[in-house]
């Protein structure tokens, strides 16, 4: 995939985060999946109504996250939520299963007809708050083939909340993710959720892998979005779109409209 246009109908895209409330089995699970779906629908509709080109659904409320496969209850719950969003929205949906369960994300996407998944560690190995996490590109690509799913794979390059187990040049990891891991698009982020993504790092990844879409994965604001999109093909935005800019709050339609307007991507 050399452009985001086949997914989003335009070469530049803004993707809004739908951070799910805690799911069954997680420490803060509230006991009602209906409440999770209602909140997700409200956030997703605010994103779509404000002009975002896509949504990425993530089990952010399930912290702390496992470094391996998530519980089957998480997969079942996320499938129910994403299916509900798919029925309600027209814009493309993505799935990210934290911390790094790409097979679960693909399963949810295939069952609920989502368009893409995000994988935080696709190639190499990192140390995060979950311990050592290894990329599973081999298993991920073969599982996608087994499912027969037309689901695009967005892979982080030196993703947030982790550091490489051994020093790897940013350009080399980008090339490995694209050409050895066969990622369809690359994501460049800051060090943590909500932290600004250095423009210079976006430029470096763009230069190293000119034939894949590159997205900014964190810290995008109305003040920075136009400059970032001059280099990147898209941005995944969460914190800046929440009421008062607080990650745990619902999506604020006024903040969505401000970001889309600043980016010059209004419908």
Long-range contacts of the stretch 199-202 (C-beta < 8 A, 24+) = 199/227, 199/228, 199/231, 201/170, 202/228, 202/231, 202/232
pLDDT digits (tens, 9 = 90+) for 215-248: 999 999 999 999 999 999 999 999 999 999 999 9
Residue 21 clears pLDDT 80, i.e. is over it: yes
The whole-number pLDDT of residue 199 equals 94
CB contact at 8 A, 98 and 61: no
Residue 145 has a CB neighbour count (10 Å cut-off) of 9
Q: In whole angstroms, give the CA distance from residue 210 to residue 221.
A: 25
Residue 195: pLDDT over 90: no
Assess whether pLDDT exceeds 80 at residue 194: no
Q: pLDDT value at position 161?
A: 84
- Of all residues in the chain, what percent carry a pLDDT higher than 90? 90
Distance of alpha carbon 142 from the chain centroid: 21
Look at residues 210, 239, 213, 212 and name the one whose alpha carbon lies nearest to residue 224. 239
Kindly indicate the confidence band of residue 24, based on its pLDDT and cuts at 50, 70 and 90.
very high
pLDDT of residue 193: 81
> Which pLDDT does position 190 carry in this prediction?
86
Average pLDDT of the residues in 160-164: 83
Digit-coded pLDDT (tens) for 107-130: 999 999 999 999 999 999 999 899
Residue ranges covered by each domain of the chain:
12-263
Taking the complete model, does pTM exceed 0.85, yes or no? yes
Average pLDDT over residues 129-156: 96
CATH number among 3.30.70.2860, 3.40.50.300, 3.20.20.70, 3.30.1330.10, domain 12-263: 3.20.20.70
- Residue 166 — pLDDT band, cuts 50, 70, 90? confident
> How does the average pLDDT of the chain come out, rounded?
95
Task: Reply yes or no on whether the pLDDT at 266 is more than 80.
Answer: no
What pLDDT is stored for residue 164 in this prediction?
86
| Alpha-carbon torsion, ordered 190, 75, 91, 20, to 10 deg | -60
pLDDT (average), residues 56-74: 96
By the 8 A CB rule, do 119 and 105 touch? yes
Q: Would you say residue 267 has pLDDT above 80?
A: no
pLDDT of residue 167: 86
Q: Considering all CA atoms of the chain, what is the largest pairwise distance in Å, rounded to the nearest integer?
A: 47
């Amino acid at each position: 995939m050399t452009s985001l246009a086949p997914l989003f109908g335009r070469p530049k895209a803004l993707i809004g985060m739908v951070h799910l409330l805690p799911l069954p089995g997680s420490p803060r699970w509230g006991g009602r999946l209906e409440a999770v779906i209602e909140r997700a629908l409200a956030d997703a509709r605010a994103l779509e109504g404000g002009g975002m080109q896509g949504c990425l659904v993530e089990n952010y409320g399930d912290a702390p996250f496992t470094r391996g496969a998530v519980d089957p209850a998480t997969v079942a719950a996320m499938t129910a939520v994403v299916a509900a969003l798919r029925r309600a929205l027209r814009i493309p949906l993505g799935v990210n299963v934290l911390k790094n369960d790409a097979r679960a994300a693909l399963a949810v996407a295939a069952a609920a007809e989502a368009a893409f998944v995000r994988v935080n560690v696709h190639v190499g190995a990192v140390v995060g708050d979950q311990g050592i996490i290894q990329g599973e590109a081999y298993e991920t690509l073969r599982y996608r083939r087994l499912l027969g799913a037309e689901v695009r794979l967005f892979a982080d390059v030196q993703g947030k909340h982790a550091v490489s187990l051994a020093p790897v040049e940013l350009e080399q990891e980008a090339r490995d993710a694209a050409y050895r891991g066969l990622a369809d698009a690359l994501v460049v982020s800051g060090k943590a959720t909500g932290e600004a993504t250095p423009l210079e790092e976006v430029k470096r990844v763009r230069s190293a892998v000119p034939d894949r879409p590159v997205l900014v994965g964190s810290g995008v604001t109305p003040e920075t979005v136009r400059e970032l999109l001059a280099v990147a093909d898209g941005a995944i935005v969460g914190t800046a779109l929440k009421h008062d800019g607080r990650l745990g709050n619902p999506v604020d339609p006024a903040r969505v409209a401000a970001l889309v307007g600043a980016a010059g991507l209004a419908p």
